[in-house]
Amino acid sequence: MSGYQHIQVRSVSSALGAEVTGIDLSKEIRENALAELRRAFAEYGVLFFRDQDLTPEDHVRFARCWGEININRFFTPVAGYPMIAEVRKEPKQRTNIGGGWHTDHSYDEIPALGSLLYAREVPKRGGDTLFASMYEAFGALSAGMQKMLQGMKAVHSSRHVFGAGANRPADLAQRLGHNELATQDAVHPVVIAHPLSGRKALYVNPGFTVCFEGWTAEESQPLLDYLYRQAARPEFVYRFSWRPGSLAFWDNRATWHYAVNDYQGERRLLHRITVEGEAL
């Protein structure tokens, strides 16, 4: 049986994001439904699905509709499913994963297209995820700043986050590993023409961007800080509240995200699959 009943896509904020209803992701998705989802993904940057009852196999199958799965080399995987990264915070753990603005895998030479995060267990309240639009972030800059940034590249790295020298809290030790694999840096344009929409998006982020190419870190930081303040303006941000069975699918080239850590003493457990992208 097909998962396409009557898809409806409803924008949830002026900046980004849409809720999709009328689809059961545990079923095979027909091509006409996928075409509608592809269009919505390119337009809204992040799609939200509610009340989905997914096995890990369903999650993997839906992710594969979007491309090859990128096996995250740093996250602890779900037991028996190396392609699913576990985003877990236990009641005794103070630090969460993703608790700062970032976009996944910008440290890779070919950054991921997007990530599909599925909620299995969520706190009674809190534990929301914020999303920010990098189209809006770029569009709000002056013409002069836009022109300058379009001639620039930036260096992204995983070393300071996942590497051996990273200043990582001890309570994340069981959640992340393989710090010996955090070796490479990647250089990307500061402004990308988005591969799906063709729109210009700012492509630097506080999590992984270390400097502009050809600039020192010290020279880069003031301008990066200015761009980060612009990008995180409230009007460019949407806050998503999870329920068990919610799935968010975001575009890593057009958005940032931030996992809010305001639920100490409770468990939060989500499964994340990341899909391969293309060179920017």
- Closer residue to ligand SIN (CB): 71 or 148: 71
Residue type, 99: G
Cβ at position 81, least distance to ligand SIN in Å: 16
User: Which tokens go with 35?
Assistant: 């075409």
- Closer residue to ligand SIN (CB): 212 or 263: 263
Cβ at position 58, least distance to ligand SIN in Å: 19
Cβ at position 117, least distance to ligand SIN in Å: 6
Contacting residues for 46 by C-beta, under 8 A, at least 6 apart: 16, 17, 18, 131, 238, 240, 248, 249, 250, 251, 255
Round to whole Å and give the CA distance between 277 and 265.
36
- Closer residue to ligand SIN (CB): 175 or 200: 175
Round to whole Å and give the CA distance between 234 and 269.
27
- In the bound state, the residue with its beta carbon closest to ligand SIN is 98
Cβ at position 86, least distance to ligand SIN in Å: 11
DSSP alpha helix (H) spans, 45-158: 56-64, 134-139, 143-150
Cβ at position 276, least distance to ligand SIN in Å: 16
- Closer residue to ligand SIN (CB): 122 or 141: 122
The owner of tokens 């990582």 is 168
Residue type, 267: R
Q: Are 276 and 195 in contact (CB under 8 A)?
A: no
Comparing C-alpha atoms, which of 12, 265, 23, 272 is closest to residue 125? 265
- Closer residue to ligand SIN (CB): 58 or 104: 104
- Closer residue to ligand SIN (CB): 29 or 117: 117
- Closer residue to ligand SIN (CB): 200 or 257: 257
Cβ at position 272, least distance to ligand SIN in Å: 5
Rg, C-alpha atoms of the chain: 18
Pairing of strands 209-212, 77-78: unpaired
Task: Point out which residues bind ligand SIN (CB under 6 A).
Answer: 87, 97-98, 104, 115, 117, 129, 257, 259, 270, 272
Cβ at position 89, least distance to ligand SIN in Å: 8
